[in-house]
């Protein structure tokens, strides 16, 4: 299969690219290297074509015969949009350009939505919940989910939106301050530094290992119904204090977090994935526990 991965040099994208290559697919990476890095592709660099471009330029790169587009090259952190709200319109425009490219190539699209759309809603979080207005980042995802449905209604475009829950794993180091808290805390605690927690640490996250997320992406391409939205998470959450305790246990340390006042408006307090729909329609079930994921991450960062 010939496929394009936008954001393919990024965190989730590069893990997906490795899987696609291992299964014998022809892979083209489109990445502007905003938070991606070619080092993430070092295992497969001789097996993929890398094009430095924004996702929205996909239709101007002379590509043809593409059967699958995995659109992960969407600005991926709420603080990015707070710092530059113009990214909101840019991300939506680039999503439309990706849909147009897929339409012309008769390709299916699997793309990255976010569990952050559930901000302010009581968990567990289901795909059919009425979503609130919370920030620029989530409005991009909500808009693109609706636009994807429109493309299906008007043009029969096949796509699946995946609401990822707090993804962590290898290849996050180049994301810096935008990396998942598991990775950020692990790297700081390995240096003997105290992780910084905004608030009292009671906020919870459904931490999902990137291997499971890649499984979800592949299953969505194979089985996802047109223009449907699917949760990709574990169905179990941990508060940040529990996560730090697990890191201390596995590192053999006893580092206490530094607690600071949380002044972030519309902060996501809790996430917990309801996996019913993705289990039923995709056959998706996360396999990696937080303990196992941290073990894998510790091995990666040795």
Cis-peptide into 124, omega within 30 deg: yes
For 269, other C-beta atoms within 10 Å of its C-beta total: 14
Long-range contacts of 138-144 (CB under 8 A, 24+ apart): 138/78, 138/114, 139/88, 140/74, 140/75, 140/81, 140/87, 140/88, 140/91, 140/92, 140/95, 141/113, 141/114, 141/116, 141/117, 142/117, 143/92, 144/74, 144/91, 144/92, 144/95, 144/111, 144/113
pLDDT at 302: 86
Tokens of 99: 């849909």
pLDDT at 266: 80
Tokens of 17: 């690219």
Query: Which domains does the chain show, CATH number per domain?
Result: 2-165+208-233+274-282 (3.40.50.720), 168-204+237-272+288-300 (3.90.25.10)
Predicted confidence pLDDT, tens digits, the chain (302 residues): 999 999 999 999 999 999 999 999 999 999 999 889 999 999 999 999 999 999 999 999 999 999 999 999 998 888 899 899 999 999 999 999 999 999 999 999 999 999 999 999 999 999 999 999 999 999 999 999 999 999 999 999 999 999 999 999 999 988 888 899 999 999 999 999 999 999 999 999 999 999 999 999 999 999 999 999 999 999 999 999 999 999 999 999 999 999 999 888 788 899 999 999 999 999 999 999 999 999 999 999 98
159 close to 226: Cβ distance less than 8 angstroms = yes
């Amino acid at each position: 299969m010939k496929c394009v991965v936008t954001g393919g040099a990024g965190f989730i994208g590069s893990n997906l690219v490795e899987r696609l290559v291992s299964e014998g697919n022809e892979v083209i990476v489109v990445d502007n290297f905003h938070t991606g890095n070619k080092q993430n592709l070092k295992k497969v660099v001789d097996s993929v074509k890398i094009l430095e471009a924004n996702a929205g330029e996909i239709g101007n790169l002379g590509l043809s015969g593409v059967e699958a587009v995995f659109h992960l090259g969407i600005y991926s952190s709420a603080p990015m949009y707070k710092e530059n709200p113009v990214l909101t319109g840019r991300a939506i425009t680039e999503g439309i350009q990706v849909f147009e490219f897929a339409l012309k190539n008769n390709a299916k699209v699997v793309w990255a939505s976010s569990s952050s759309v559930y901000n302010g809603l009581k968990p567990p979080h289901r795909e059919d919940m009425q979503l609130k207005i919370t920030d620029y980042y989530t409005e991009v995802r909500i808009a693109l989910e609706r636009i994807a449905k429109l493309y299906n209604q008007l043009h029969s475009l096949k796509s699946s939106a995946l609401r990822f829950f707090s993804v962590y794993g290898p290849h996050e180091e180049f994301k810096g301050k935008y990396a998942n808290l598991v990775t950020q805390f692990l790297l700081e605690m390995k240096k003997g530094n105290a992780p910084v927690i905004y608030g009292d640490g009671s906020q919870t996250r459904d931490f999902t290992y990137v291997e499971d997320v890649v499984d979800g992406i592949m299953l969505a391409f194979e089985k996802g119904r047109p223009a449907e939205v699917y949760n990709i998470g574990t169905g179990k959450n941990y508060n940040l204090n529990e996560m730090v305790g697990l890191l201390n246990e596995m590192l053999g340390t006893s580092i206490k977090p530094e607690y600071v006042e949380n002044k972030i408006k519309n902060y996501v307090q809790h996430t917990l994935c309801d996996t019913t729909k993705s289990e039923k329609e995709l056959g998706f079930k996360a396999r990696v526990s937080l303990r196992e994921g941290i073990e894998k991450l510790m091995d990666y960062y040795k």
